[in-house]
Amino acid sequence: MGVRATVKDRVLSGMQPSGALHIGNWMGALDNWVQIQDVFDSYFMVADYHSLTTGYHDTRDLPQKVLDMVIDWLAAGLDPERSIIFRQSMVPEHAELHLLLSMITPLGWLERVPSYKEKLKELAQRDIHTYGFLGYPVLQSADIVLYQADKVPVGQDQVPHVELTREIVRRFNGLYGEVLVEPEAVLTEARVLPGLDGKKMSKSYGNTLSLGESQDSVKQKIRTMVTDPARIRRQDPGHPEVCPVFSLHKVFSDPKTVQEIEESCRQAAIGCVDCKSLLASAINVKLDPIRERRLMWQSQPERVEEILHEGARSAAELAHGTLNAVKDAMHLKPQPLNGNSW
């Protein structure tokens, strides 16, 4: 398996289909994907199977969520000419490799993954004491090794999953021979954006700005944003380091503006109203091209579906080869490439 036609390292990453994205998703992960798509041989996956581990109760809105998220990927600049964009459930090899890897993964390894106990607690009201939820990182391992990915760009919370993948790979290769590639996590620069209320920006807190937010809505929402709580009157000096408006300036405004705001805030030379209006303009300038592309993709959902079909076809080609090498190494019967009708 070692020799490969391409020179570039291969990258695979995934996101659960949460529907339309917010600027925190964009700056936290998506923009990084857009930047690296030329540097690596890139595979970006809609992890719809993973979304079932916590959301199996009602799956009716899944198709819409997948579509909305992929539209935002494309709007943000992921380019199907330069990377493979696909949906996990359209490539059946993920399910089959998951099964095979599950045979060699000790329960203890899964129970020890930090996100397991955390999520059980966090989502205590949903019943996720399921086989599938425990196996979440095995499925993720299958995603990664199917494409023999060298690198997996992820946030800090996902690093234990990549570590587990490495352990599963070593175990597999030890048992059956050197077939699988050991991947490496590449930490995406931790850029957690504050939401309108100052807490971490998150859909579940309802404190987000979406990628498709209109210009007026951006202005209006930023106007309601919390600021330095100690700055009550206009003449009170502010503390930008505790102000969520300032944190967003650091992401969206140019360095010179950021420095000016920092100084004038401390001297009470700028008021929060003006500071926020500068921020809204900076965000709007960055969102303008995205909004435009988003409208374009929204008007042609069939084209988006086609991109997912083409992506699945390319992904399956590679995935099929790996799966057959795995089955061969395990003395199982390989399969001809016929099942995939995309």
Give catalytic residues, as residue numbers.
119, 200, 203
Amino acid found at 147: Y
- Residue placing its CB nearer to ligand TRP in the complex, 14 or 194: 14
270 in contact with ligand SF4 (CB under 6 A): yes
For the chain, what percentages of helix, strand and coil (3-state, to nearest 5) are there? 55, 10, 35
- How many residues make contact with ligand TRP (CB under 6 A)? 13
Q: Which of 15, 49, 228, 329 touches ligand SF4 (CB under 6 A)?
A: 228
- Give the interface segment with ligand TRP, choosing from 12-20, 210-218, 259-267, 320-328 (CB under 6 A): 12-20
Contact (Cβ atoms closer than 8 angstroms) between residue 243 and residue 265: yes
Q: Which of 34, 74, 97, 144 touches ligand TRP (CB under 6 A)?
A: 144
Nearest to 245 by CA among 201, 283, 275: 275
49 in contact with ligand SF4 (CB under 6 A): no
Q: 94 is in the binding site of which of ligand SF4, ligand TRP, none (Cβ under 5 to 8 A by kind)?
A: none
E runs forming strands in the chain: 10-15, 41-46, 83-87, 151-154, 184-187
3-state secondary structure of 229: coil
C-alpha triplet 268, 271, 275: angle, nearest 5°: 120
For residue 266, the minimal CB distance to ligand SF4 (Å) is: 8
Contact (Cβ atoms closer than 8 angstroms) between residue 63 and residue 104: no
Q: How far apart are CA 28 and CA 15, in angstroms?
A: 12
For residue 210, the minimal CB distance to ligand SF4 (Å) is: 22
The residue whose two tokens read 């929060």 is 272
Residue with the CB atom nearest ligand TRP in the bound state: 14
Which residues sit at the interface with ligand TRP, rule CB under 6 A? 12-16, 47, 50, 140, 143-144, 152, 154, 158
Which residues sit at the interface with ligand SF4, rule CB under 6 A? 227-228, 231, 238, 240, 243, 245-246, 261, 265, 270, 272, 275-276
